[in-house]
């Protein structure tokens, strides 16, 4: 846990971290407000509001992540693969749109749960695609001792 704290405290521009948090809050507020419009609309306007909500929410999710990544300042040269960066944005928009559509559909049983899971999965896809876009001048390795292992007996 101290390694994570030390990384954030010493290798991140905390002003950009704060900006990412602000963008996250604004994007969340915007998404909820746009979904209220979806709920009050019918037919074609409903589809338009869903599209606007998907784009705004997807961009908000992506911007939060990208600004937080820009805040990271490693001690080695780094950059971003533009194709993967764009793919992470498109994945955030498409999967958020799919999740919001399902969550607001009265015809889908447990639609809010399913839609929420799809939005959460979309965030994960965007995150891992965005992380794959981050390129550094060295090879990354997994430090397995930092991963806490549990036996079957400790889970019970």
Q: What pLDDT is attached to residue 12? A: 79
| pLDDT of amino acid 146 | 66
pLDDT for the residue numbered 7:
67
Across the 156 residues of the chain, what is the mean pLDDT of every consecutive 10-residue run?
66 88 95 93 93 96 94 84 96 97 93 96 95 82 65 51
Residues 38, 49 contacting (CB under 8 angstroms)? yes
| Whole-number Å distance between alpha carbons of 87 and 145 | 32
Mean residue pLDDT across the chain: 87
Hey, where are the domains in the chain?
Answer: 2-147
CA distances, 59 to each of 8, 13, 38, 111 (Å): 24, 22, 18, 23
What's the pLDDT score for residue 144?
A: 72
- pLDDT attached to residue 155: 47
Helix residue ranges per DSSP H, the chain: 2-11, 14-40, 43-71, 82-103, 111-133, 152-155
- pTM of the predicted model as reported, rounded to 2 decimal places: 0.80
């Amino acid at each position: 846990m101290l390694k994570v704290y030390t990384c954030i405290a010493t290798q991140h521009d905390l002003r950009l971290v704060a900006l990412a948090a602000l963008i996250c809050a604004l994007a969340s507020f915007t998404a909820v407000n746009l979904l209220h419009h979806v709920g009050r609309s019918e037919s074609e306007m409903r589809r338009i509001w869903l599209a606007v909500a998907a784009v705004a929410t997807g961009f908000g999710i992506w911007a939060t992540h990208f600004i937080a990544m820009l805040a990271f300042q490693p001690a080695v040269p780094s950059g971003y693969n533009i194709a993967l960066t764009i793919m992470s944005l498109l994945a955030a928009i498409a999967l958020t749109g799919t999740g919001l559509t399902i969550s607001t559909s009265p015809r889908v049983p447990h639609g809010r749960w399913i839609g929420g899971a799809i939005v959460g999965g979309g965030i994960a896809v965007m995150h891992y695609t965005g992380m794959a876009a981050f390129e550094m001048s060295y090879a990354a390795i997994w430090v397995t001792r930092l991963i806490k292992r549990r036996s079957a007996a400790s889970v019970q």
